[in-house]
Amino acid sequence: MAGNHAQDATIGVLALQGDFREHAAALKALGAHTVFVRRPHELEQVDALVIPGGESTAMWKLATTAEMFEPVRKRVADGMPAFGTCAGMIMMADRIVDAAAGQQTFGGLPITVRRNAFGRQTESFEEPIAFEGIDGELTGVFIRAPWVEEVDPGVEVLARVAGGPATGRIVAVRQGNLLATSFHPELTSDRRVHEFFVSMVRDAA
C-alpha cells in the first residue's frame, strides 16, 4: 500500500443509509482523508464520493428529502470521482430495470443496471472474482445484488461473474472517474478495490 495515499484529497462517503461505516473504515485503513456526507454543505467539502451499499429506493428518497439529490447528481456530472457498490451502482446508473415506481438515480455511468438481478436474499452468494487491473482474485460478496445489463461504448468492463447460473454477467465497470461494482468489497478485509478507487481520485486531482 506504500505510496498509495490520496495525499490531501478528501473522500466523502454518502451516509444517508446503508454500510457507509464499512466504506469509511476501508478508506481510512488506506490513509485516505474520509468524511461522512449527509448535507449539501458537507458535499461541497469533498473531492470524491463513495455511494455505499444499502437500499436504493430508501437512498433515493432520503437524498431527495435531504436536498442532496440534485447536488450529488450535478457533482457527478461535473466529473467528481465516485465509487458505488450495489445500491451505489444502481444510483450511478443512467438507466435501471425493475425500478420502483418513479425511482430516480444520480446517473453518470451510461449503463443499464437490473435491480435484484440475481434474485432474492436466499440467492445471495459469494464467489471469487477476477478484476481487471488487480492481480489475483477477489472475494465478491453479492447481496440481493444488481448486475449490468448493457454498457454504452466507452465503458470499461472490469469484472464478470465466473461461475454458476449468472456466468458472464457484468459486475464491475469504470468510465473516466466513475467506478461501480455489484458486489461489496467493503464487507471483506481486502482493500484492493478501494485502493484502486483511491488511485483514481489521486490521478484526477
Which are the catalytic amino acids? Answer: 86, 184, 186
- How many binding residues for another protein (CB under 8 A)? 47
Judged by CB under 8 A, the residue of 6, 43, 76, 87 near another protein is 87
Part of the chain binding another protein (CB under 8 A), chosen from 5-13, 42-50, 71-79, 138-146: 138-146
Tell me whether residue 15 or residue 148 sits nearer to another protein (CB atom): 15
Residues 6 or more apart from 46 whose CB is under 8 A from it?
10, 11, 12, 35, 37, 80
3-class secondary structure, 88: helix
Packed helices 20-29 and 192-204: angle between N→C axes, nearest 10 degrees = 70
The answer to whether residue 40 forms part of the interface with another protein (CB under 8 A) is: no
Rounded CA-CA distance 189/186 in Å is 7
The answer to whether residue 144 forms part of the interface with another protein (CB under 8 A) is: yes
The answer to whether residue 142 forms part of the interface with another protein (CB under 8 A) is: yes
The answer to whether residue 146 forms part of the interface with another protein (CB under 8 A) is: no
Evaluate whether 33 touches 11 at the Cβ level (below 8 Å).
Answer: yes
> How long, in residues, is the chain?
205
Helix (H) / strand (E) element for 195: namely helix 192-204
Please report, as ranges, the residues that interact with another protein according to CB under 8 A.
15-22, 38, 53-55, 57-58, 61-62, 65-66, 86-87, 98-100, 115-116, 120-128, 137, 139, 141-144, 162-164, 166, 184, 187-188
